[in-house]
């Protein structure tokens, strides 16, 4: 790992995202007043470096790399103006940072469990659910693990708080 590059740049992106997302989410109101806390921020860091410009590749879309299957399991949330039956409702939601966050939240609410058997449901469990699915068996690919652990370490150092 190259400490200076792999640690500081993603962290800046995370903080930028947290700030911009928090203000835009506040404007939306209601249920969508979700925030990119250090947990969801680090899951998207691991998934895509929180790159908000990402479209869809091989069926995985947006900054959380959400698949249609994942989105459906999460109750198929849509952008405020969109109907669920719209042909591209999935792509439009998964490539929108707030709709994608909402999707991940719903998914975690539905499947949350103690994946790693440490007697609590914490951010590490949410990451395992995100990358491995509801059974959350096995281990995350090391590229995800490295990015996630690194991000969590930095976030907790900065006092972003545990979730
Ligand atoms: C984010 O993704 C876009 C689209 O794939 C790419 O052009 C851009 O370089 C990426 N940005 C970063 C910071 O990786």
Label residue 84 left, alpha or beta by phi (over 0 means left) and psi (-120 to 50 means alpha): alpha
Sign of the CA dihedral 1, 13, 110, 96?
Answer: negative
Cα atoms found within 13 Å of the Cα of residue 8, Cβ hemisphere only = 4
Among 19, 163, 151, 27, smallest CA distance to 105 is for 163
Q: Give the pTM.
A: 0.79
- What is the number of the ligand 1 atom nearest to the C-alpha of 49? 14
Cα 110 to ligand 1 centroid, rounded to whole Å: 31
Residues 6+ apart with CB under 8 A from 143: 46
Give the binding-site residues of ligand 1, using a 6 Å CB cut-off: 49, 51, 53-54
Interatomic CA distance for residues 126 and 39, integer angstroms: 8
CA-nearest residue for atom 5, ligand 1, is 54
Tell which one of 44, 54, 57 to mutate to probe ligand 1, the residue whose CB is within 8 A of the most ligand atoms: 54
Q: pLDDT tens, position by position, for the chain (163 residues)?
A: 344 444 444 544 444 445 444 444 444 444 546 888 899 999 999 999 999 999 999 999 999 999 999 999 999 999 988 777 778 999 999 999 999 999 999 999 999 999 999 999 999 999 999 999 999 988 888 999 999 999 999 988 887 655 5
Q: Residue 80 carries which DSSP code?
A: T
């Amino acid at each position: 790992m190259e400490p200076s590059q792999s640690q500081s740049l993603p962290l800046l992106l995370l903080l930028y995202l947290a700030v911009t997302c928090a203000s835009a989410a506040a404007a939306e109101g209601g249920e969508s007043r979700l925030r990119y806390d250090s947990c969801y921020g680090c899951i998207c860091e691991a998934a895509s470096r929180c790159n908000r410009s990402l479209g869809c590749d091989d069926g995985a879309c947006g900054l959380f790399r959400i698949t249609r299957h994942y989105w459906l399991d999460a109750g198929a949330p849509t952008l405020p103006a969109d109907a669920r039956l719209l042909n591209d409702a999935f792509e439009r939601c998964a490539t929108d940072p707030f709709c994608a966050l909402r999707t991940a939240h719903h998914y975690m609410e539905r499947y949350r469990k103690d994946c790693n058997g440490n007697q609590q449901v914490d951010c590490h469990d949410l990451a395992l659910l995100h990358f491995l699915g509801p059974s959350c068996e096995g281990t995350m690919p090391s590229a995800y693990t490295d990015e996630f652990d690194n991000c969590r370490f930095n976030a907790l150092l900065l006092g972003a708080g545990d979730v």
